[in-house]
């Protein structure tokens, strides 16, 4: 088979690919580039399914870590794996599935580690410039998971893998299946996956504390299962209609903080479940690019966290124990249209987004009545809000080599209801014994954008962009007291980001090069400010600056040997020094070699490098320090036995580096994996 290359971060060729472009569900793609006469990427990145498999990235956080400018962080006591894009975290970088927002209306605390990648054809990552057509809230970019689509009369793809710690002890498995068929203009397909980690082990160099003795990491189990069904009708190259159903269930434990004296959380998540039903259709109006696209969705999210009253997780019977529940429902849709004028020289787009979110929460808890501890259940508290966005974008091509993209959106959020319920200091309830309402308020924003791209040669492009984007604070940021550790702030204002970027991509022979430089000015930036040793508050700190650059290179030395690397430099500052911005590294790099010494065999060593980052101390949490640096080496070897059978094995953190990216939570030490894949 003739080798081709996939492009990571708009220009970096990663690995030879077998996935055809048509396997990407094009209806699920977003406007991450200037379309029509050239499709110029504006500094974004695409991670394909082949990249995911090549580097064994079985969860979303690990897959995104391949992207220059993206950095993984760990959510401390909640055990959440999160990703920041150029310093913008999950609150400021929307997550989409096939162009439909994945959003939790109360707090949007999405755990990227609970999202598997088996049914994903590609991950589109925009950085800085994000089309206003895609929807509101993209302060620093967006992440869109595009599902796979069956292309042949029948397809079946099966994979099973095992995981082991450095001692060879089994500690998890993954299994996934994808299958489907095309019947004339119709297609039907389904996928199922399960990813279980019973535990992970710390590095042999880890030094024990009174809270963690090393070796097998206590309470580190997590599991995710997902089923994805798609039925579609594709009567012509310009028309497609698709119904999609996704059911995702997850559960996890959370390790204790290793730092003596840090707050101990005896937490378990028995349920982290999400169901989605969505319709996407595209109807072509002509052969020049005019179309009407419609999306409609229904989402349900259910989350349960159990807070035990002992470190053995055997008792839920005192006033310090409870079961906390979130149940969210969302409905909405998007109507998008494009009008191609002057034989495609100008394309005008417009989109209207609407989303209605309903959040319900309650606790099962224990209170003291007459000297006895008795179980009780809170009244259900509800939060309701509507979000609208109207966007217009125009792409003009003065010549076939130029793209000029202008656009503006108007975003509006209407808070309908925001209730809470707080127990009294003696274990009773508030005076009214019923939920009470916070003050309501509506917010709106205008978001302009401008981007220009020029293809100066068949193998070279330069681009520049400027945009202003706004994010509305979540209910959690405004109202949550976080077990009395936060003071609420109902008057918290939206935060804004003014983004500038310029970049170039160039191919010279067998070498691909790329570079981006960027700067973002944040206004009314929201961050957590410690008020005392035990109390913090979300505040608009005023201004913050994110700036840096990204470099990428890949080179095919021979037909059987390819090398590549990327590097990102990021500096985040607050001019008035009122706070310290944490959890993103100053420097980050990734490098790999793809060597095929004999026919059918591939050997892929890679190395990940993270520089120092500002981290908040676990005890006391009013102090900060520089840490989080790491060098992690990985190695994988795979062999294609036949056209249908492929096996691979490898090691992550091969040198058993002992490091942490959140105070009190060291990362996994050396670990091994083996996978078998069969396709028909």
pLDDT of 19 > 60? The answer is no
d(CA 490, CA 473): 10
pLDDT of 605 > 60? The answer is yes
DSSP codes, 341-381: ETTTTEEEEEEEEEEEEEEEEEEEEEEEETTEEEEEEPPPE
DSSP codes, 82-125: EEEETTB-TTTS-EEETTEEE--TTT----GGG-B-TTEEEEEE
pLDDT of 28 > 50? The answer is yes
Q: Where are the domains of the chain?
A: 7-679
Higher pLDDT, 22 or 486: 486
What are residue 50's phi and psi, to 5 degrees?
A: -70, -35
pLDDT of 423 > 80? The answer is no
Q: How confident is the model at residue 441 (pLDDT cuts 50, 70, 90)?
A: confident
pLDDT in tens, 632-652: 999 999 999 999 999 999 999
Q: How confident is the model at residue 133 (pLDDT cuts 50, 70, 90)?
A: very high
> How do beta strands 630-640 and 45-48 pair?
unpaired
Kindly provide the residue ranges of all beta strands, DSSP E only, lying in 623-670, ordered along the sequence.
Answer: 624-627, 630-640, 645-652
pLDDT in tens, 442-500: 999 999 999 999 999 988 999 999 999 999 998 888 887 776 778 888 888 999 999 99
User: Is the CA virtual torsion 653, 659, 661, 662 positive or negative?
Assistant: positive
Mean pLDDT along residues 179-192: 96
Token pair recorded at residue 183 = 């019947």
CA angle 522, 526, 531 (to 5 degrees): 135
Q: How confident is the model at residue 424 (pLDDT cuts 50, 70, 90)?
A: low
Mean pLDDT along residues 41-45: 81
Q: What is the pTM of this model?
A: 0.92
> How do beta strands 543-558 and 222-236 pair?
unpaired
DSSP codes, 164-224: EETT--EEEEEEEEEEEEEETTEEEEEEEEEEEES--B--TTPPP-SS--SSBPTT--EEE
Of 224-238, 560-574, 616-630, the range with the lowest mean pLDDT is 616-630
CA angle 358, 146, 584 (to 5 degrees): 75
Burial of residue 458 (CB within 10 Å: 0-12, 13-18, 19+) is exposed
Mean pLDDT along residues 172-180: 96
User: What percent of the chain is predicted at pLDDT more than 70?
Assistant: 93
Q: Is 65 helix (H, G, I), strand (E, B) or coil?
A: coil
Mean pLDDT along residues 238-253: 96
Q: Tell which residue, 622, 621, 501, has the closest CA to residue 257.
A: 621
Mean pLDDT along residues 91-109: 92
Of 3-7, 92-96, 464-468, 586-590, the range with the lowest mean pLDDT is 3-7
The mean pLDDT value of the chain amounts to 90
Q: Contact 147/25 with Cβ under 8 angstroms?
A: yes
d(CA 465, CA 452): 6
Q: How confident is the model at residue 41 (pLDDT cuts 50, 70, 90)?
A: low
Q: Contact 159/175 with Cβ under 8 angstroms?
A: yes
Q: What is the CATH number of domain 7-679?
A: 2.40.170.20
What is the pLDDT at residue 433?
Answer: 63
Neighbours of 300 (CB within 10 A): 15
Q: Is 52 helix (H, G, I), strand (E, B) or coil?
A: helix
What is the pLDDT at residue 274?
Answer: 95
Long-range contacts of 172-176 (CB under 8 A, 24+ apart): 172/196, 172/197, 172/198, 174/58, 174/116, 174/118, 174/675, 176/116, 176/118, 176/119
What is the pLDDT at residue 22?
Answer: 40
pLDDT in tens, 48-69: 998 999 999 999 999 999 999 9
Q: Contact 355/386 with Cβ under 8 angstroms?
A: yes
Mean pLDDT along residues 91-97: 95
Kindly provide the residue ranges of all beta strands, DSSP E only, lying in 439-509, ordered along the sequence.
Answer: 443-457, 460-471, 495-508
Q: What is the C-alpha R_g of the chain?
A: 25
Mean pLDDT along residues 335-354: 95
Q: Contact 507/457 with Cβ under 8 angstroms?
A: no
pLDDT of 394 > 50? The answer is yes
DSSP state of 264: P
pLDDT of 2 > 60? The answer is no
Q: How confident is the model at residue 255 (pLDDT cuts 50, 70, 90)?
A: very high
């Amino acid at each position: 088979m003739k080798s081709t290359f996939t492009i990571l971060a708009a220009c970096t060729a990663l690995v030879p690919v077998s996935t055809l472009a048509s396997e990407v569900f094009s209806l699920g793609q977003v406007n991450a580039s200037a379309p029509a006469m050239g499709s110029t990427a504006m500094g974004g990145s695409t991670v394909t399914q082949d990249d995911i498999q090549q580097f064994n990235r079985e969860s979303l956080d690990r897959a995104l870590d391949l992207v220059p400018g993206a950095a993984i962080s760990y959510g401390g006591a909640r055990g959440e794996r999160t990703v920041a894009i150029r310093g913008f975290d999950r609150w400021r970088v929307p997550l989409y599935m096939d162009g439909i927002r994945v959003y939790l209306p109360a707090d949007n605390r999405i755990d990227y580690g609970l999202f598997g990648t088996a049914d994903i054809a590609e991950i589109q990552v925009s950085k800085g410039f994000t089309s206003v057509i895609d929807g509101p809230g993209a302060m620093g970019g967006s992440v869109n998971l595009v599902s796979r689509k069956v292309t042949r009369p029948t397809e079946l793809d099966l994979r099973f893998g095992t995981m082991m710690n450095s001692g060879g002890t089994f500690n998890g498995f993954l299994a996934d299946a994808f299958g489907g068929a095309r019947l004339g203009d119709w297609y039907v397909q389904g996928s199922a996956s399960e990813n279980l980690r019973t535990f992970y082990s710390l590095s042999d160099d880890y030094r024990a504390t009174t809270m963690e003795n090393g070796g097998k990491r206590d309470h580190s189990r997590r599991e995710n299962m997902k089923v994805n069904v798609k039925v579609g009708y594709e009567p012509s190259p310009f028309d497609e209609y698709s119904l999609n159903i996704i059911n995702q269930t997850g559960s996890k434990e959370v390790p204790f903080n290793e730092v003596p004296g840090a707050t101990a959380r005896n937490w378990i998540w028995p349920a982290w479940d999400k169901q989605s039903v969505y319709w996407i259709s595209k109807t072509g109006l002509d052969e020049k690019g005019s179309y009407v696209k419609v999306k409609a969705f229904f989402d349900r999210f259910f989350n349960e966290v159990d807070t035990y009253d002992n470190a053995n997780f055997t008792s839920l019977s005192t006033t310090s124990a409870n079961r906390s529940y979130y149940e969210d429902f969302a409905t909405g849709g998007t109507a998008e249209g494009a009008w191609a004028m002057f034989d495609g020289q100008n394309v005008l787009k417009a989109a209207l987004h609407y989303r209605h979110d309903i959040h319900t929460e309650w606790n099962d808890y224990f209170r003291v009545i007459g000297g006895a501890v008795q179980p009780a259940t809170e009244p259900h508290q509800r939060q309701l809000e509507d979000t609208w966005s109207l966007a217009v974008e125009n792409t003009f091509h003065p010549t076939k080599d130029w793209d000029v993209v202008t656009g503006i959106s108007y975003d509006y959020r209407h808070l309908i209801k925001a209730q809470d319920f707080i127990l009294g200091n003696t274990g009773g309830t508030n005076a009214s014994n019923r939920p009470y309402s916070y003050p309501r308020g509506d917010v709106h924003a205008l978001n302009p954008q401008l981007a220009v791209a020029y293809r100066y040669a068949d193998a070279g492009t330069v681009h520049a962009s400027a945009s202003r984007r706004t994010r509305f604070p979540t209910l959690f940021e405004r109202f949550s007291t976080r077990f009395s550790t936060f003071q609420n702030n109902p008057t918290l204002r939206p935060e804004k980001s003014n983004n500038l970027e310029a970049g170039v991509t160039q191919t010279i022979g067998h070498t691909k090069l790329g570079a981006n430089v960027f700067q973002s000015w944040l206004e009314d930036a929201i961050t957590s400010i410690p008020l005392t040793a035990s109390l913090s508050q979300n505040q608009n700190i005023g201004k913050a600056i994110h700036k840096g650059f990204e470099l990428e290179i890949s080179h095919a030395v021979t037909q059987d040997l390819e090398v590549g690397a990327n590097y990102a430099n990021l500096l985040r500052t607050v001019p008035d020094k009122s706070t310290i911005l944490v959890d993103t590294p100053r420097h980050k790099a990734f490098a790999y070699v793809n060597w095929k010494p004999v026919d059918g065999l591939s050997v892929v060593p890679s190395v990940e490098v993270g520089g120092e980052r500002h981290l908040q101390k676990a005890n006391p949490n009013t102090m900060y320090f520089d840490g989080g640096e790491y060098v992690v080496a990985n190695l994988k070897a795979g062999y294609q036995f036949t056209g249908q059978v492929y096996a691979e094995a490898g090691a992550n953190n091969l040198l058993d580096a002992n490091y942490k990216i959140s105070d009190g939570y060291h990362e996994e030490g050396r670990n091994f994996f083996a996978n078998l894949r069969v396709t028909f």
